[in-house]
């Protein structure tokens, strides 16, 4: 009876070596069984391949993290392009008004240069 393990627990599992010598009958050479070692190596290699493939899919050059990052930058750029297109549309409309309407030119000059026709009063407010 062991001091560390109560008797009612199952016995500790035994560890099998990967290479095992099989006793041969008298007069024959003993042979070494290598199948567990081969399977251990095959399983290890398979594990390395699976881990490498998973890592490549997640964190590689064209992995999921990279694709997510590129997708987020694409969405941000598309939003910025939309804002710039709207701003460009407003500026084109303003240019068209200034080229075609003399009153719009006078108003723009009055706003920017604080110029007004003689006899007019200009009012300035803070924050403008």
pLDDT of 3 = 56
Can you list the residues of the chain whose pLDDT is less than 70? 1-35, 128
Contact 79, 73 (CB under 8 A): no
pLDDT of 22 = 57
Burial class (CB within 10 angstroms; exposed 0-12, middle 13-18, buried 19+) of 60: middle
Task: Tell me the pTM.
Answer: 0.47
Provide the CA 27 distance to its chain's centre, in angstroms. Answer: 66
Measured in Å, how far apart are the chain's first and last C-alpha atoms?
94
pLDDT of 4 = 61
Name the DSSP class of 19. S
């Amino acid at each position: 009876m062991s001091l560390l393990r109560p008797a009612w627990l199952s016995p500790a599992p035994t560890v099998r070596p990967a290479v095992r010598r099989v006793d041969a009958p008298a007069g024959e050479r003993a042979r070494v069984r290598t199948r567990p070692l081969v399977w251990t190596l095959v399983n290890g290699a398979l594990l390395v391949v699976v881990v490498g493939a998973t890592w490549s899919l997640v964190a590689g050059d064209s992995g999921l993290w990279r694709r997510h990052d590129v997708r987020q930058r694409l969405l941000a750029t598309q939003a910025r392009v939309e804002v710039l297109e709207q701003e460009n549309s407003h500026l084109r409309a303003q240019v068209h008004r200034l080229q075609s309407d003399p009153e719009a030119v006078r108003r723009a000059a009055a706003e920017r240069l604080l110029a007004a026709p003689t006899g007019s009063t200009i009012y300035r407010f803070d924050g403008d």
